[in-house]
Structure 1
Amino acid sequence: MRGLWQTLSKRDYDGIADWVTDDCIYLDVPVGPAFAARGPADIVKRLQVGWGGLAAYENHDGLLVADDDGNVMYEHTETWTFASGEVVTLAFVSVHRVRDGRVCLWKDYWDYGAIMNNAPASWVESLATADTSWAYDATGDV
């Protein structure tokens, strides 16, 4: 799974499809299952809502734990550098369910307040007009 995170750290959006299944559900747990994304193309659109306006993004490796049933937990941090100069480092735990070597369920746990209280107002305001064509209600799926 570290390969997925190396791909993400490079913001290699085309490469994400190599790591997730066609029916993969991506969910930011603090936001809730009504705003999940499903499938590689929509996961990319979802990620671009947060990262699209960043000057830089970097994932920092952390603890990776997996079991024999394809469940993976990854504790890591992400540094977001905004175009206006603010830098925020966020703690994450990502939970993946893996099927045939690819992620089929991806749930990110993070502190909503940490990003909303430290991101520039322009980035927060951009969320209100962001493309949400990716939104998938995964309430019954996760």
Structure 2
Amino acid sequence: MSIDTSAVPTDIAQTVLGMWKALSNRDWETVKTFLSDDCIYVDMPVGPIAAARGPEDIVKRLKIGLEPLAGYENHDGVLVSNGVDTMYEHSETWTFTTGEQGVLRFVTVHKVENGKITLWKDYWDMNGLTSFAPPTWLEDLAQADMSWMFDATGLI
């Protein structure tokens, strides 16, 4: 699907869509290039107490969920921006190594300043994901490296 980005400043669209393309490819080093040094990432269903800050820790956090997947693909949707704050409605197809597959729908809010994402908030349905994830998925997450955790309470 092609996105109509005519109402979004070109540099903002390039930053947001470029980062998502890199993420869809699980090109971790390129993902980092789109994030400011103090960028905050938050999965909003989990909340700001389990945020990640900075490109290295954000990629550590993303890898927990996405690296073990047999397949991962981002699907473009609606992109709107006021010139700094950008909302991106999209979906992701997750395919687990055990064969389970499903589509997770997102609305992501990015703040983009000076060509870098400075804030990244993902809104999605935890029940939607757990409905198609393998039964051990949550247990596996609990065993993951949590050194990336940053409490962003009051910052987002």
TM-score by length of 2: 0.88
- Equivalent in the alignment of 1:76: 90
Cα RMSD between the aligned structures?
0.7
**Matched residue SS, 1:96:** strand
Offset, 1:88: 1.2
Offset, 1:105: 0.2
**Matched residue SS, 1:44:** helix
Offset, 1:122: 2.4
Name the stretch that deviates more: 46-55 or 75-84. 46-55
**Matched residue SS, 2:98:** coil
**Matched residue SS, 1:140:** coil
Q: Which ranges of 4 or more aligned residues in structure 1 deviate by more than 6 Å? A: none
- Equivalent in the alignment of 1:52: 67
- Equivalent in the alignment of 2:146: 132
Matches within 5 A, 1:112-127: 112-127=126-141
Q: Percent identity?
A: 55
2-structure distance, mates of 1:105, 1:66: 14
Offset, 1:5: 0.6
Offset, 1:128: 1.2
How many aligned positions are there?
141
Offset, 1:125: 1.5
Offset, 1:49: 1.0
Q: Does 1:5 find its partner at 2:20?
A: yes
Matches within 5 A, 1:90-101: 90-101=104-115
Whether contact under 8 Å (2:26, 2:67) holds in the other structure is no
Gaps of 5+ in 1: none
Gaps of 5+ in 2: 1-15
What one-letter code is carried by the residue in structure 1 that aligns with 2:130? M
2-structure distance, mates of 1:36, 1:9: 21
